[in-house]
Amino acid sequence: MRPVIDIEVLHRRLSESLDLLRDTYSTSRECPGGGWYHELATPEPGSTATALGLMAFAEAREPFEHFDDGLSFLAHRQARSRSDLVDGGWATKTSMERPVVEATAWIARFLGRSRCGLKDGAPDAERAYRWLTANQNADGGWGSMRGCRSRVWLTCLALRALHELNPYAPAVDRGCEWLMTHRVSAGTVWGELPGAGPKVTHTAFALLTLAQARPEWSGTRLLSAYQWLELELTNSGGDPYVWIETYNVQPDLPGTHANWRLALWHYGLPIAMSALLRHPGGAPAAVICDAFDTISRADVRDSPWNEAAAGGTSLWSVWWRAEALTDLLRFPLARPGDTLVWLPEAVVVQRASARDKPLSALLPAPPRRSLRRFLARHWAGFLLPGLAASGLIGLMTHVWGLRDFLLSLILPTVLIPIQEARIRARRRGSQPQ
């Protein structure tokens, strides 16, 4: 199969995701504004899901009529306190009203990406920034809050948010070094925690984070991780890498022995596709196209997450797919050193490593035609002249009569149009929809 990205399909799938978000937006009964819950069928919105829903529209550059209402909802949910460890953050529904990185980092990143910090009624991005820096652990990573064990996913969330708000923050330097120090598998890739087994999802998310925060590392310090990720996806057989990372959180709160359980919903294939777009050796076309085919094959309502979302549709599957499709649509395929061959009806990106080769040498070779396959597909067409020739010989030698000769031509004459119709139907069915 040729490596092909159908932009029409990409736009259609992206529009389906945004239409689903429009249809499932709901107002809050508890505070001003509205938004979404991660199970889209649940009417009462949550903070993280609302930020992701709004960010999906902002990333796609699509207007949304309830955008300001969503900002009002998030502003109302932002914590207020005299403590820097609490003030400016957001809680999840399972964190006992205590702000955590799982929510705050997503919302802070949305505020930075959408550039709405000065908009009337918007949450306070500066206070969110201070919360993230105050809750960084002494080792440079992040747990759910300061004092909780640093985790790879949460450190990536915090770094992506901080880089949007202030890429020059010392906390970003320390967080990037923590990620590099806590790789597994011979210091190449990442797992859930330092010392855990390697995971496609965490490796892809770490690469995506470092490509944003430290792009100069990609070609030297991170090349082996990109190569590992490419090999894993090549051998995956279309695995969407859908799973839930769960863990206990024991915050260091005076006078309490609080202990709660949090869950991170991972949909790793779209993240891995976005990471491999940034491969320092050039995006691996076959792997990217296979991932795109898996992600875009079905409607978002048929996502692998639906069973986990109480039979409905999960906002996480909508978000990860929408972000990956938007990333694919916008990411520049040409890199420094590449050459663009600009034809009247096509544009070819010729990699820097192949700039001295003629264009004809880079194009896929035409499929070799097999005589056996050709005869198998067109046997009816060969049968007619063969019978006609043998019949004429039979007439000339008086072995056949004229009636026998004419009757022998009836069957191939009927079979030829039937076979050609089947060939045309098969070709139409093999074309991408």
**Digit-coded pLDDT (tens) for 320-375:** 999 999 999 999 888 888 888 888 888 888 888 888 888 778 777 665 656 666 65
Q: What is the pLDDT of residue 370?
A: 60
Residue 428 confidence (pLDDT) above 60? no
Q: pLDDT tens-digit profile of 232-257?
A: 999 988 888 988 899 999 876 665 66
User: C-alpha 265: how far from its chain's center?
Assistant: 14
Q: What is the pLDDT of residue 430?
A: 47
Q: What is the pLDDT of residue 104?
A: 98
Please say whether the beta carbons of 331 and 10 come within 8 A.
Answer: no
Average pLDDT over residues 269-285: 94
**Lowest-pLDDT range, 9-13, 35-39, 103-107, 215-219?**
215-219
Hey, what amino acid is at 195? G
Binned at pLDDT 50, 70 and 90, residue 282 comes out as confident
Average pLDDT over residues 404-419: 66
Instruction: Note every long-range contact of 239-244, with CB atoms under 8 Å and residues 24 or more positions apart, other chains counting.
Output: 239/269, 240/267, 240/268, 240/269, 240/294, 240/295, 240/304, 241/200, 241/201, 241/266, 241/267, 241/268, 241/269, 241/272, 242/266, 242/267, 242/268, 242/304, 242/305, 242/308, 243/201, 243/268, 244/308
Would you call 432 exposed, middle or buried from its count of C-beta atoms within 10 A (0-12, 13-18, 19+)?
Answer: exposed
The span from the CA of 142 to the CA of 155, in Å, is 5
Residue 400 confidence (pLDDT) above 80? no
User: Can you tell me whether residue 267 is helix, strand or coil?
Assistant: strand
Q: Identify the top-confidence range among 104-113, 216-225, 295-304.
A: 104-113
Sequence-ordered list of residues with C-beta below 8 angstroms from that of 147, at least 6 positions apart, any chain: 137, 251, 252
The span from the CA of 413 to the CA of 399, in Å, is 22
pTM of the model: 0.82
- Two tokens at 106? 């997503």
Q: pLDDT tens-digit profile of 80-92?
A: 999 999 999 999 9
Between the alpha carbon of residue 228 and those of residues 222, 231, 432, the distances in Å are 10, 5, 30
Please say whether the beta carbons of 315 and 322 come within 8 A.
Answer: no
Average pLDDT over residues 183-205: 92
